[in-house]
Amino acid sequence: MIKAESVFYEYRHEGGEAIAALSGLDIEIAEGEFVALVGHNGSGKSTLAKLFNALLLPQKGCVSVDGMDSRDPANLWDIRRRVGMVFQNPDNQIVATTVERDVAFGPENLGLPTEVIRQRVEWALMALDIADLAQWEPHLLSGGQKQLAAIAGVLAMRPRYIILDEPTSLLDPAGREEVMEAVKELNRQGLSIIYITHFMDEAAQAHRIVAMERGLIAIDGPPRQVFSRPLHLRSLGLDVPEIALLADELRRGGLAVPPGLLTDDELVNAIVDKS
């Protein structure tokens, strides 16, 4: 489990002005969960993610990973091995001349034997269905393929949790779908996913949505529960899936469709059932 208890974190501008990023936040994320973190810019999402894998340390409060306090320097290595992180721009994460060598970079830095590294690279490429790209040069890959290669590099280090910080924000729709399907498959295989996104259709595919506002949690629940309150989401500056908005309009217009509808088919079936 990843656990944050009464966590505070603030940044300081050059002039000394303090800007609070997290303001006494509490959250628990269990192993095996797929959690989508959403919120407008400045809500604290990325700061929280960096606290989860000890890139940042809490200024007040405590962050622990599987019982290990991130404030203890003796735990940093183990925490960063357990919590992998994939960033927004895949070009900033790829360091080698081929996909295979890039995926091997992380395990090599763990000091693993050559045969173990080879096995992990093959496994990670197969898990993301990009084994055919092993010998490709990164500049020949599409945006979605580059992001999958970056995810494979983290996956080869065998973390228990993977944090993805807006991994599809620079991709076209095809690339977004490619990455999202791969992430869901990794979760089905038991990997814990913490997925930061501003695409609410992606958040709807998680098990749980955590919406942040001013460094605190404003909403926390399964997608159907969260999207049953579209006006609340909009008050937080968040987009709402069109189906959820349309269903809400129909309810307020007198049609008793159930809350929490997420797909076209669900809305059509609900309308047919009421007709």
pLDDT of residue 121: 95
* pLDDT digit string, tens, across residues 37-93: 999 888 999 999 999 999 999 999 999 999 999 999 999 989 998 999 998 888 888
Which residues face 84 on adjacent strands? 162
Q: What does residue 268 show for φ and ψ, rounded to 5 degrees?
A: -60, -45
Gap between the Cα atoms of 80 and 50, Å rounded: 10
pLDDT of residue 9: 95
Q: 202-225 burial, b if ≥16 CB within 10 A, otherwise e?
A: bbbbbebbbbbbebbbbbeeebbe
Q: 166, 89 in Cβ contact below 8 A?
A: no
* pLDDT digit string, tens, across residues 173-201: 888 898 899 899 999 989 999 999 988 88
Q: pTM of the prediction?
A: 0.87
Mean pLDDT of the region 260-269: 76
**For the chain, domain boundaries:** 2-223
By percentage, how much of the chain surpasses pLDDT 90?
Answer: 57
pLDDT of residue 274: 63
Please state, rounded to an integer, the average pLDDT across all residues of the chain. 89
Q: What pLDDT band is residue 275 in, cutting at 50, 70 and 90? A: low
Considering all CA atoms of the chain, what is the largest pairwise distance in Å, rounded to the nearest integer? 66
**Residue bearing the bigger pLDDT, 241 or 120:** 120
Q: 58, 9 in Cβ contact below 8 A?
A: yes
Distance from first CA to last CA of the chain, Å, rounded?
Answer: 46
**Residue bearing the bigger pLDDT, 62 or 257:** 62
pLDDT of residue 231: 79
Q: 33, 207 in Cβ contact below 8 A?
A: yes
pLDDT of residue 211: 94
pLDDT of residue 99: 95
* pLDDT digit string, tens, across residues 89-138: 888 888 899 999 999 999 998 889 999 999 999 999 998 889 999 999 99
Q: Where are the alpha helices (DSSP H) in 32-166?
A: 45-52, 76-82, 99-109, 114-127, 143-155
Is 248 a residue whose pLDDT tops 80? no
54: left (phi over 0), alpha (psi -120 to 50) or beta: left
Q: What does residue 133 show for φ and ψ, rounded to 5 degrees?
A: -100, 5
**Residue bearing the bigger pLDDT, 250 or 128:** 128
Q: 94, 101 in Cβ contact below 8 A?
A: no
Which residues face 5 on adjacent strands? 62
> What's the CATH code, domain 2-223?
3.40.50.300
By percentage, how much of the chain surpasses pLDDT 70?
Answer: 99
Sheet containing 2-12: which strands, arranged edge to edge? 18-29, 2-12, 60-65, 68-69
Kindly state the helix (H) or strand (E) to which residue 61 belongs, with its residue range. Answer: strand 60-65
Lowest average pLDDT, out of 51-55, 141-145, 160-164, goes to: 141-145
Please name the residue that has the structure tokens 């620079």: 170
